[in-house]
Amino acid sequence: MTRLPKTSVSSSRNRLSKLDIQTKHNQKYGNRKLAQSLLMVKLPPKEIDDLKKEQFFRFNTKELPKILDETGKRTSRAIVTERLHPIFRLTNLDHFKQAIRDIVLAHHFSFIREARIFHPDISLDNLMVRYSGDGAVPGALIDFDLASVGVSSSEGHHGRRTGTRRFMAIDLLENETSPHLERFDWESFFYVICWIGTHYSYGTEVQTDALDELDTDVDKLLVPSKQLMLVGFGSPLDILFTDFYKPLYWTWVYDLQSMFHDAHQAENESRHAKAINPERYMPVFDEETLGGIVTWDRIWKILKN
């Protein structure tokens, strides 16, 4: 076989090495990856022929034109949406409260409509606001890519629990296969409000280490930390809330604390009674509202304060 000039082969080899294309001594990559790589560096046809003749790469040359044609196809799409801003950047407490009401109300309507929409990730980065021209700042709930329609399940599209553990409800941390209930998201809203209230002041993060016990992926550590948050008066929240959000603690957070604390206490008492005497007749405990304590009417009454 006639040898090609070294300059041509060397030039081609150097240009391809930047893409980490393996030589014939490495059989790790198949034909398609090589063809795609050749297309990416846009080698002139002559240099591709040179490489084939030198047999630096292992591939079926008959497939190359077909593969290059396939990889050359592209479909471009443009998505246009209004500009949103993180809710924790607000510098007006009344605007913050109204934005939270907007989001919670929209979430509730999505949940109770005939074709239910379940949003399994109520978290800090998914609560946004939109600045309108009339001075209003309506809230917006985003990131519905993990949402499900019509199926109350805590599992995502790939059979795994979805959501941000830092803001997950206690029951969901203890039982990841539990059907997704609306009260789980209400409890998540509570944790998000607490996180914002202890970290931010006038739109700026001022306490980076507040509630850092929630920054763990270990469920057994998260559960007692969240139970402590629900103690009520005298809990760390009373001390950690910034001056900007301190009024929110007394109008919203304290009542939400008390509600979730009483609800989980009733739940634990029901479980304990069943464990002691499983054969004894006991009234059915309403898991959806934790004994009628966590209800939409009560949530909305608190948020209207």
Which helix or strand (DSSP H or E) is residue 205 part of?
strand 204-205
Residue type, 156: G
Extract the tokens encoding 162. 């979805």
CA dist 257 and 197 (Å) reads 14
- What is residue 113's DSSP assignment? S
CA distance to 262, 280, 287, per residue, from 274 (Å): 19, 8, 14
pLDDT of residue 47: 58
> How far is the C-alpha of 47 from the C-alpha of 12, rounded, in Å?
7
- The sign of the torsion formed by the CA atoms of 123, 128, 290, 247 equals positive
* DSSP line for 183-198: HHHHHHHHHHHHHHHH
Q: How far is C-alpha 103 from the chain's CA centre?
A: 16
Instruction: Write the secondary structure of 280-299 as one string of H (helix), E (strand) and C (coil).
Output: CCCCCCCCCCCCCCCCHHHH
Tell me how far apart the alpha carbons of residues 152 and 139 are, in angstroms, rounded to a whole number: 25
What's this model's pTM, rounded to 2 decimal places? 0.72
pLDDT in tens, the chain (305 residues): 444 444 444 444 444 444 344 444 344 444 444 444 444 444 556 655 655 554 444 444 455 455 445 555 566 677 777 889 999 999 999 999 999 999 999 999 988 887 788 888 999 999 999 998 788 899 999 988 778 887 654 444 444 567 899 999 999 999 877 888 999 999 999 999 999 999 999 999 999 999 999 999 888 899 999 998 888 655 678 889 999 999 999 999 999 999 999 999 999 998 888 888 877 767 788 999 999 999 999 999 999 99
Both structure tokens of 282: 């006991």
Residue 55: the pLDDT is: 44
- Asked whether 170 and 226 are in contact (CB, 8 A), the reply is yes
Q: What is the 3-state secondary structure (H, E, C) of 55-106?
A: CCCCCCCCCHHHHHHHHCCCCCCCCCCCCCEEHHHCCCHHHHHHHHHHHHHH
- State residue 134's pLDDT score: 82
Q: For residue 142, how many other CB atoms are within 10 A of its CB?
A: 14
The pLDDT of residue 155 is 47
Q: How far is it, in rounded angstroms, from Cα 303 to Cα 253?
A: 9
pLDDT in the model for residue 145 = 78
How confident is the model at residue 46, as a pLDDT? 62
- What per-residue confidence (pLDDT) applies to 10? 45
| Ramachandran sector of residue 280 (left: φ over 0; alpha: ψ -120 to 50; beta: rest) | beta
Give pLDDT, residue 129.
Answer: 97
